[in-house]
Chains A and B, each alone.
Chain A
Amino acid sequence: MAKLRLLNGKLIDIIISRLSKQLIENHGEFSDSVILGLQPKGIFLAERIKSRLLELSGVELPIGYIDTTFYRDDFRRRDSPLTPNSTNVPFIIEEKKVILIDDVLYTGRSVRAAISAMLAFGRPSKVELLTLIDRKYSRDLPIEANYVGKTVNTIQSQRVIVELVEQGFEEDNIWLVNQVK
């Protein structure tokens, strides 16, 4: 099984800083802005962005976690069963500028489900998407990210594996793996 390292911990850290600065550029004072991390791994990146923004601009953004399980359109069409995680949005989304954060953007179906899930908490004034890895040319839906860590060209048989220290790994790594069928 061929395994290619896309990003290591140091590069991820640099990218988090760059993405945070792009957010500062676009959101200015961050009045009415909130962060929503997608379960399961987007929440870790969302926490990292939140603390980096605090370091860089002194603003502490409200953060929530959103789980898409009950909103997915591939429920019952998958080989493996879906396991729900907790959704925790401790604020009203009404009229807020939402920054959705996920680890990998692939078909766009998770993001579509996340937008549906988010709308149960109110009508945001604007929604943006931030992703660490953008798998180009593999979208099933017309969804694109506003902030991208790294763009990679992949084929369907490949998988992107995200390992973060928050999950219990010794160091951050993102791999591209060729699956052997």
Chain B
Amino acid sequence: MADLSVKHLLGIKNLTEQDLQTIFETADQFKAVINRSIKKVPSLRDITIANVFFENSTRTRLSFELAEKRLSADVINFSSASSSVKKGETLLDTVKNILSMKVDMVVMRHSSPGAPHFLAKHIDANIVNAGDGTHEHPTQALLDTYSIREKHGEVGGKKVVIIGDISHSRVALSNIFALQKLGAEVMICGPVTLLPKYISDLGVKVELDVRKALEWCDVANILRIQLERQKTKNFPSLREYSLYYGVNKKMLNALDKEITIMHPGPINRGIEITSDVADSEHSIILDQVENGVAIRMAVLFLLAQKR
């Protein structure tokens, strides 16, 4: 039965493997829908969704909005920059006010880890976490693993390395949970100052040499350096980071196999990844974006059934 074990999508951590498979199988059908000439279905025409973004976003917000519109939901958008949050309103008050306008689901991004969990305890609407600080970004992990499944047939047994700023990345944590639940082997790679101290407790391999990491893996998910979240200096300069951890074509050519290159965006070309890698035939970066809409349609569709 296509049914999730949860009422909210707060993180990957509290999903089951069956939940992930249900989301993937539903997304398969939505991917077919968005590749037709008429890309819209009427499933959520009686649902109103608020996209509440307390932090900047381009890809995720557009992707959610498109997914909602293709499901025929009514959509309202809210960003903190132009709102009463600036006037001192609390998170709960802001969202309660939005819900008084009869909103059924809330898609929220917030800079504080746990903000959507807090909200889920206090309000009746279904919450979808679109990124909470450095904690989780569940739909990104879903679309990343879905893209691996699409490219390689299955996720189980694959070796996936996540390269870059692991400490400040919600994408990394959600990806680790999702990949492990699906049976993949996970390695993280980056400068020691950008790796969380006890990360190996999660059962992931830790590698400091990017060349060795690339030799080991089938898939490399390359993350951006999140300068906006770094309060102290973790490495001498971007140039030096790029020299030691930037993935370039030469490194890939030196491997005796082909690996799949992923990046959740936004890309800083020339820093963590060079243009010739990002645009190469091994890169599935733009497939990830396309799959993001199908995955988000599946998540919203399945959560709406829980209302």
Distance of B185 from chain A, by nearest CB (Å): 31
Q: A121 near B36 (CB under 8 angstroms)? A: yes
- Please report the C-alpha to C-alpha distance between residue A69 and residue B33 in the assembled complex, in whole angstroms: 12
- Please report the C-alpha to C-alpha distance between residue A81 and residue B25 in the assembled complex, in whole angstroms: 14
Distance of B36 from chain A, by nearest CB (Å): 6
Distance of B30 from chain A, by nearest CB (Å): 8
Q: A86 near B38 (CB under 8 angstroms)? A: no
- Please report the C-alpha to C-alpha distance between residue A116 and residue B38 in the assembled complex, in whole angstroms: 12
- Please report the C-alpha to C-alpha distance between residue A120 and residue B42 in the assembled complex, in whole angstroms: 11
Distance of A123 from chain B, by nearest CB (Å): 11
Distance of B289 from chain A, by nearest CB (Å): 22
- Please report the C-alpha to C-alpha distance between residue A82 and residue B304 in the assembled complex, in whole angstroms: 11
Q: B29 near A75 (CB under 8 angstroms)? A: no
- Please report the C-alpha to C-alpha distance between residue A158 and residue B307 in the assembled complex, in whole angstroms: 28
- Please report the C-alpha to C-alpha distance between residue A85 and residue B28 in the assembled complex, in whole angstroms: 10
Interface 0/1 of A64-83, CB less than 8 Å to B: 00010111100110001111
Instruction: State whether the Cβ of B3 lies closer than 8 Å to any Cβ in chain A.
Output: yes
Nearest opposing residue in chain B for A85, CB measure: B29
**Chain A interface bracket (under 10, 10 to 19, 20 to 34, 35 or more):** 10 to 19
Instruction: State whether the Cβ of B199 lies closer than 8 Å to any Cβ in chain A.
Output: no
- Please report the C-alpha to C-alpha distance between residue A116 and residue B41 in the assembled complex, in whole angstroms: 9
Q: List residues 11-49 of chain B with CB under 8 A from any CB of chain A.
A: 25-26, 28-29, 32-33, 36-38, 40-43, 46
Contacts of B1 in A (CB 8 A): 80-81, 83
Q: A84 near B2 (CB under 8 angstroms)? A: yes
Instruction: State whether the Cβ of B57 lies closer than 8 Å to any Cβ in chain A.
Output: no
Contact for B43 among A75, A87, A120, CB less than 8 A? A75
Q: B42 near A81 (CB under 8 angstroms)? A: no
Q: A76 near B304 (CB under 8 angstroms)? A: yes
Distance of A76 from chain B, by nearest CB (Å): 6
Contacts of A116 in B (CB 8 A): 42
Distance of B141 from chain A, by nearest CB (Å): 22
Instruction: State whether the Cβ of B234 lies closer than 8 Å to any Cβ in chain A.
Output: no
Query: Most chain-B Cβ atoms within 10 A of its Cβ — which of A76, A84, A116, A121?
Result: A84
Instruction: State whether the Cβ of B80 lies closer than 8 Å to any Cβ in chain A.
Output: no
Q: B38 near A120 (CB under 8 angstroms)? A: yes
- Please report the C-alpha to C-alpha distance between residue A48 and residue B32 in the assembled complex, in whole angstroms: 26
Q: B42 near A83 (CB under 8 angstroms)? A: no
Nearest opposing residue in chain A for B22, CB measure: A83
Q: List residues 273-307 of chain B with CB under 8 A from any CB of chain A.
A: 301-302, 304-305, 307
Nearest opposing residue in chain B for A80, CB measure: B1
Contact for B305 among A67, A81, A87, CB less than 8 A? A81
Q: B305 near A75 (CB under 8 angstroms)? A: yes
Contacts of B37 in A (CB 8 A): 120
Contacts of A75 in B (CB 8 A): 43, 304-305
Q: A82 near B305 (CB under 8 angstroms)? A: yes
Contacts of A83 in B (CB 8 A): 1-2
Contacts of B305 in A (CB 8 A): 75-76, 81-82
Contacts of B43 in A (CB 8 A): 69-72, 75
Contacts of A71 in B (CB 8 A): 41-43
Given A86-B29, A87-B29; A70-B2 close (CB under 8 Å): no
- Please report the C-alpha to C-alpha distance between residue A71 and residue B40 in the assembled complex, in whole angstroms: 10
Q: B28 near A81 (CB under 8 angstroms)? A: no
Interface 0/1 of A81-104, CB less than 8 Å to B: 111111100000000000000000
Given A81-B1, A82-B2; A70-B33 close (CB under 8 Å): yes
Distance of B1 from chain A, by nearest CB (Å): 6
Nearest opposing residue in chain B for A119, CB measure: B38
Q: Which residues of B contact A (CB under 8 A)?
A: 1-3, 25-26, 28-29, 32-33, 36-38, 40-43, 46, 71, 301-302, 304-305, 307
Question: Which 6 A-B pairs have CB atoms at the shortest separation, nearest pair first?
Answer: A70-B41, A83-B2, A120-B38, A81-B3, A84-B29, A70-B43
| Further contacts, 10 of them, CB under 8 A, given A83-B1, A87-B29 | A71-B41, A75-B304, A76-B304, A81-B1, A81-B3, A83-B2, A84-B29, A86-B29, A119-B38, A120-B36
Q: Which residues of A contact B (CB under 8 A)?
A: 67, 69-72, 75-76, 80-87, 116, 119-121
